[in-house]
Structure 1
Amino acid sequence: MAKKNADAPPGEEKPAGKSKLKLIILIVVVLLLAIGLSVGGTWFFLSRGHKAEDAKDEAKNAEAATPVKQVALYEPIAPAFVVNFNQNGRQRYMQVSLALMGRDKGELDALKVYMPQIRNEMVMLFSSQDFDALAAPVGKEMLRQQATAKVQELSKKETGKLAVEQVLFTNFVLQ
């Protein structure tokens, strides 16, 4: 056994250069792998942010495509309506102030031409009411809905459009 150790010349030991070369290659591979993972992770998170921005942009585009409800405009009808009617042989009075609610200023302005017809329809409607029914909130709401239907019907007939969305009571007095 001593011969085997003696066979190797003292200057020829295992080369240290090969193990250093393996170490350098291993370090370079680890560094490249770390850089690759860093770039990949950055790209992943940034692209995910773009997807969120794209989704927001698509939502904004969808909002722009859907019609946006315009601001409500109110057109008061002046002067207030004062009507009288008989209730069980007793003279009763009702004073009602109205406002027309619409969304298009041009349509509301076009309806002003037909204001005498609207006033006539409202006077006829208000004077045909029952005092006891109007004393209850439900009766007032029913009257408001009937007034809305009358004005919408007249608006559709005369202008071809529903210029009025609702008729609102701004003052309601029964005596």
Structure 2
Amino acid sequence: MATAPAAEGAAPKGGGSKKLIIIIAAVLALVLAGGGAALMLLKKKPADDGEDGADTTEAPAKAKAHAKSDHPPTFVPLDPFTVNLADKDVDRFAQIGVTLQVDDPHFADQIKAYMPAIRSNVLMVLSHKTAVELLTREGKEKLAKDILRESLRPMGIEPDEEDEDEAPAADGAKKKKKKKKAHVESPITQVLFSNFIVQ
């Protein structure tokens, strides 16, 4: 009979170790299932980001197509302008350095050929500005648009619709005529200021 209690004692030990093994296996299965689920979610997320990434790579491709060039832009610096401003109360002047950014180096050579007319137009624009207009960020942005427009005119390129819509019209009929003009993409992509002093 002594062997029977020993056998009974052994049975509960074996059953306990079996329960422990089953519990460990269940926990391990849960951990593996959770890890697998996390891995699947993480794999899906980069795939989604990849899809978004594909959209973002298409956007620069569209921007590249819009720019129509694979080479870096060309910068055409103009000699600094020193001009009396249109302030009536006090004599004020501005010294402004302007650089034109173009995508096509051949167009940069064309700009240089028209430089006297371009400088004259820019001087006329600057001489009609007041110090108050030039000291604000909005004033500088408007000046850049005006310089862009006046830099294109000597070459026979009409300003695009956006610039003309902002210009005040004497009556509605003139403004409508300007809207009907075909949109021409500007070869000058940006007007940059290298120095800007108003005194």
Q: CA deviation at 1:161?
A: 8.3
Q: Which runs of 5+ in 2 are unaligned?
A: 1-56, 159-183
Residues 1:119 and 1:113: Cα distance change in structure 2 (over 3 Å): same
Q: CA deviation at 1:163?
A: 3.4
Report the counterpart of residue 192 of structure 2 in structure 1: 168
Whole-Å separation in 2 of the counterparts to 1:100 and 1:88 = 30
Q: CA deviation at 1:89?
A: 2.6
1:170 partner SS = strand
Bigger fraction of residues in strand: 1
With normalisation by structure 2, the TM-score equals 0.49
Is residue 113 from structure 1 mapped to residue 137 from structure 2 by the alignment?
A: no
2:92 partner SS = strand
Whole-Å separation in 2 of the counterparts to 1:111 and 1:127 = 22
Q: Pairwise CA RMSD of aligned residues?
A: 2.9
Report the counterpart of residue 15 of structure 2 in structure 1: none
Alignment of 1:13-162 (within 5 A): 67=65, 69-70=69-70, 71-78=72-79, 80-157=80-157, 162=186
Identity %: 27
Determine if contact 1:93/1:174 at 8 Å carries over to the other structure: yes
Cα-to-partner distance string for 1:35-92 (whole Å, 9 max, x where unaligned)? xxxxxxxxxxxxxxxxxxxxxxxx9xxx7xx8453321111112x0000124233110
Q: CA deviation at 1:162?
A: 4.0
Q: Which runs of 5+ in 1 are unaligned?
A: 1-58
Whole-Å separation in 2 of the counterparts to 1:86 and 1:113 = 29
Which AA in structure 2 matches 1:142? Answer: K
Whole-Å separation in 2 of the counterparts to 1:161 and 1:112 = 20
Cα-to-partner distance string for 1:63-122 (whole Å, 9 max, x where unaligned)? 7xx8453321111112x0000124233110100101110011111112211100000000
